[in-house]
Structure 1
Amino acid sequence: MNITLVMAGDEEGGLEKHVVELAHGLQQHGHQVTVIAHEKYRDRLQVHFVAVDLSKSRRNIFVLYQLYKALKNENADIVHVHGNKAAAMVSLLLPYLKLKSVATLHSRKKNTKMFKAFNAVIAVSPNAAEVLDHPHKHVVLNGIEPPILNANIMKHTPPVVLAVGRLVPVKGFDVLIQAWKGIQNAELWIVGDGFEKEKLQHLITELDLEQSVKLLGFRSDIAELMQQASLYVMSSHYEGCPYTMIEALLCKTPMVSTAVGAMTMVLPEQYLCPENDVDRLNQLMRNALVDLEEMQKNYKAVYAFAAKELVLDGMLRNVESVYREVLNAE
C-alpha cells in the first residue's frame, strides 16, 4: 500500500513516538510510506518526508493549502491522520480529495466531531472509543519495539515503586505523592520533567517524604529503571494507551493504576482504583509491596498478552487490517 501519515503540532510525547514507530514499521512490512509533519521530525524518520508546519492554527488558510497540495501530490491509497488537530485539518480537505482515510484518536476527548469525515477511526483504548460516534470504529492498542532487557540488572533494595510521565496535572502525581504517606521500607521514584516540578517537590517536603520520594527528572534509561523497580504505578486522571504501561509489562514489572484508558482492558481489575482516590491508591501499593511474588503470578497472563499484542508487529497487523477494510469497502 501507498500510505501517508499526517501529524500536527510540534510536541514530544506518546503520539509523536507512535507515528515514528508506525511509519518505520509499515515501511518494514513493505509499504510505501510518507509522513507529513513539522520539519523538526525529519531527522528521526527514515521514510519519505514532507514538511508542513501544522503547529499553526487549524484554520490557517496558507497552511491548509500547503497540506492540500501535499496530500494531492502523494495521492496515497490511505491517508492516516493522528490526533484531533490533524483530524480537524484534514477533514476540511477531504471533500476536495478523492482519498480513503483513517484517523486515530489517541486519548479520550470531549469533541470528536472532526472524526466523522473519515472512512474509519482507530481509538487506542476502549475508554477513548466510547466517545466516538462512528459506524466504523476500531480499538487498536499501541505497540512498541520490545525493550532490550539486561540480565545483570537486579531489583533495587529497598523495593522501588516507579512512576514515569510529564510533571503535569493530568498525570496525578500530586495524588500519588499523597498516597505514598505511611508506606515504609520502599522508595518512590518519579521520572519526568514539567512545570509542576516545584509544586510536587514542595508537597514532598510538606508531607515529610524527602527520604523516600525522589524526583529523578528526565531520564533516557527507562527500561533499566523498570527492571530495577519492583512495582510500576500510574496515577493519571486519563490516558490512552500509554507507552510506559507497555514498557513496564514487557520488562515484567507488575503495576497498579487508576482505572483509565487501556489499563481497564489490559490490567487485572484488582490492581485498578478510581482516579483521584488517595486512600485506594495507597492501599493498592501497600498490598502489592506486601506480596510481590503473588502479584508476579497474577501477572503472567498479562505479560504474555503484552508480548503478543502490545509489540510493534501486533499493532501493525491490527492497523493493516483496518486499512484493508477501508480499501475493500464499496
Structure 2
Amino acid sequence: MKVLLLMLSPPAANGGMEKHFSDLANGLANAGVSVSCMSAAEHLQSLDSRILRYPVNTNASRYSVPLIRSIVNAQRRQKFDIIHAQGSKAAATIQPLSAILPTPRYIATIHNFKSRYPSPKRFSAIIAVSHALARDIGQSTTVVYNGIRVDTQKAPPCTLDVCDHPIWLAVGRLVHAKGFDHLIDAFVKVKGTLLIAGDGEEREPLQKKVEQLRLADRVKLLGYQAQIPRLMQSVDAIVISSRREGFSYVCAEALLAGKPIISTDVPVANELLPPQHICPIGDIDTLAALLNTPIPELEETQATTRDYAARELTIDAMIENTLRVYQEVIRDE
C-alpha cells in the first residue's frame, strides 16, 4: 500500500495536528506501509528515513497552482493508493482533485471544529479525532483517536519549589481557547498550588490576573516546558480548562501517566472521564468545587478510564485503526 500524507500547517505550527502527522507517518512506516509526506519542510525533519519527503510552501493559498501541481506530479510518479489530508486546509486542497486524479482514494482527517467541513461526496472516508467532532461533521464520519507514545519507563519527577498540596498542572498555549483566565479565577476558592506550563500571547494579562487576585504564591506560570511527562509525574493531578478542543492531548497524556483529571466539557475528556468530573464551560464556581475534590477520590473513580486509555490511546491503536480505514476504502473500490 502506498500512501501520501498531506498537511498544510504553517512552518512554525507545533500543536496536536503536527504531532499527529509525524506520529502517524512514522507509525505507518513501521507497519510496512510505503509512506510519503508533503508539508512544510520544518514538519518533515522528524520523519523516519524510509519516508519520502515533499517540502512545499504551506503559506500559499489552498488553491495555489504550484501546490496542486506538486500533488499531481507526486501522484503521477508514485501512483499512491491513498492520499490522506490532515486538517481542513489540506482537505480543501485535495477535494477537487478527484476529477484530475481519479485513481487514488481520498481521505481527510479533521482535527478541530469548523463552520464548514469537507464534502463527503469527494472523499472515500472522513476521520474525526473525537466522537463530539464526528457528530458535528455528520455524514458517517469515522472516529480514530490520536495516539500517545507510551514510554516503557515513566519519566522521573522534577523538583518543584512549592509547598501547598494538592499540586495541579495545566498545560497548553496561553491563548483564549485554553480558558486559563477562568482557571485562575476558580483557584481563588481552591486549596493547593496551580502550575500552568506553556507560553503565548496571553501570558502578560494572565500574570496580572494572578497578581491582582493575590495568588502569586500559589499560581505559577512556568512558561514553555519541554519535559511535560516529568512535570506530570511531579504533580498530584491535571486540570483542563479549555473553551474548545478537537482532541485534548493533555487528557490522553495524563491518563497514560496515571494522573487524575478534572476538565471542562471538551473532547476527549468529556468522552472518557466520569461525567461528575466534567465542568460546564465558563462555570467558574463548579470548576472550583471540582478542583477541591479529594485526589484519592478522583484516582479511584477514574481507574476504569485509565485502563481504557492504556488500550485505546496508544500509537499502536491509532495505527491499527487508521489501517482499518485504509483497507476498507481500498476494498470498497
Correspondence for 1:266: 272
TM-score, normalised relative to structure 1? 0.94
CA distance in 1, matches of 2:66, 2:157: 54
CA distance in 2, matches of 1:123, 1:301: 24
Q: Which runs of 4+ in 1 moved over 3 A?
A: 113-116, 150-157
- 2:270 partner SS: helix
CA distance in 1, matches of 2:130, 2:306: 18
Please provide the CA RMSD for this pair. 1.7
1:8 aligns with 2:15: no
1:76 aligns with 2:95: no
1:311 aligns with 2:318: no
1:40 aligns with 2:42: yes
Check whether the contact 2:157–2:233 (CA below 8 A) recurs between aligned residues: no
CA distance in 1, matches of 2:157, 2:283: 37
Query: Aligned letter for 1:328?
Result: R
Q: CA deviation at 1:55?
A: 2.5
Check whether the contact 2:195–2:222 (CA below 8 A) recurs between aligned residues: yes
Superimposed CA distance per residue, residues 40-92 of structure 1 (whole angstroms, 9 cap, x where no aligned partner): 12321122111111231112222222232223323211111100000001112
Check whether the contact 1:116–1:133 (CA below 8 A) recurs between aligned residues: no
TM-score, normalised relative to structure 2? 0.93
How much identity, in percent, do the aligned residues show? 36
Which runs of structure 2 are paired with 1:1-330 in the superposition (5 Å)?
1-10=1-10, 11-46=13-48, 47-97=51-101, 98-114=103-119, 116-135=121-140, 137-147=141-151, 148-150=153-155, 157=163, 158-184=165-191, 186-287=192-293, 291-330=294-333
Q: CA deviation at 1:154?
A: 8.7
Check whether the contact 1:87–1:115 (CA below 8 A) recurs between aligned residues: no
Query: Aligned letter for 1:21?
Result: D
CA distance in 2, matches of 1:319, 1:31: 12
CA distance in 2, matches of 1:248, 1:182: 24
Query: Aligned letter for 2:183?
Result: L
Superimposed CA distance per residue, residues 254-307 of structure 1 (whole angstroms, 9 cap, x where no aligned partner): 1010111111211111100111111111111012xxx21122111111111111
Question: Structure 2: any 5+ residue segments left out of the alignment?
Answer: none
Check whether the contact 1:84–1:114 (CA below 8 A) recurs between aligned residues: no
Superimposed CA distance per residue, residues 198-231 of structure 1 (whole angstroms, 9 cap, x where no aligned partner): 1111111111111110000011110011111111
Q: How many residues align?
A: 325
Distance 1:139 1:189, change over 3 A: same
Distance 1:146 1:326, change over 3 A: same
Question: Structure 1: any 5+ residue segments left out of the alignment?
Answer: none
